[in-house]
Amino acid sequence: MALLSDNELDDREIAAMIETRIQDKMGITPDQFRSALHQLCEEILLDDGDKAGVAVTDPDQAIEMMVLINRDASMSFDDISQLVDLIYDTDSTVIKATLLDDKRIDETLDRIDNPQLQLWICGMLLYLIKADNVIHENEKSLF
């Protein structure tokens, strides 16, 4: 969520993740991380009724988005970044309405019941959102 909350997938934030070995500390592989990021993008695009969650009026853009969503193979960060860009190009309110939905944040945070892990996640979240030298309003809300 932190990587997407400022409306773009920034290379400096990815570099900060790699530098601090966040994935290793979370016990996941790079492919598992990319898969989770891809799944989050897909959730943003789909509502509870499995209908498109954003309005796409350009048929070429819709095709490009669906190709990226329906990939079975693990996606590169460039592919995910392209998907993020497509999401924001279609509807600028998607990030606030979908990603930063209070229910989604609460459900995610409720799964973390270890106080040490909670503190570590807060520290890593702050580190990531500062990586591009700009703290976006959505990043502040998430933090």
For residue 5, being part of any structural domain is answered with no
Distance CA 5, CA 50 (A): 22
- Chain centre to alpha carbon of residue 30: 15
Most confident residue range from 50-54, 59-63, 105-109, 117-121: 117-121
For residue 2, being part of any structural domain is answered with no
Look at residue 52 in the predicted model and tell me its pLDDT.
46
For residue 20, being part of any structural domain is answered with yes
- pLDDT tens across 80-127, in order? 777 777 776 766 565 566 666 778 788 888 888 888 888 888 888 888
- The pLDDT confidence band at residue 50, using thresholds 50, 70 and 90, is very low
Task: From residue 12, give the alpha-carbon distance in Å to each of 18, 26, 107, 111.
Answer: 10, 20, 28, 28
Contact 142, 1 (CB under 8 A): yes
For residue 32, being part of any structural domain is answered with yes
Domain that holds residue 98: 11-142
- Chain centre to alpha carbon of residue 96: 12
Share of the chain above pLDDT 90, in %: 0
For residue 135, being part of any structural domain is answered with yes
For residue 4, being part of any structural domain is answered with no
Domain count for the chain: 1
Question: What residues have CB less than 8 Å from 141, skipping those under 6 apart?
Answer: 5, 100
Contact 2, 95 (CB under 8 A): no
Average model confidence (pLDDT) for the chain?
75
For residue 1, being part of any structural domain is answered with no
Count the neighbouring beta carbons within 10 Å of the beta carbon of residue 15.
Answer: 12
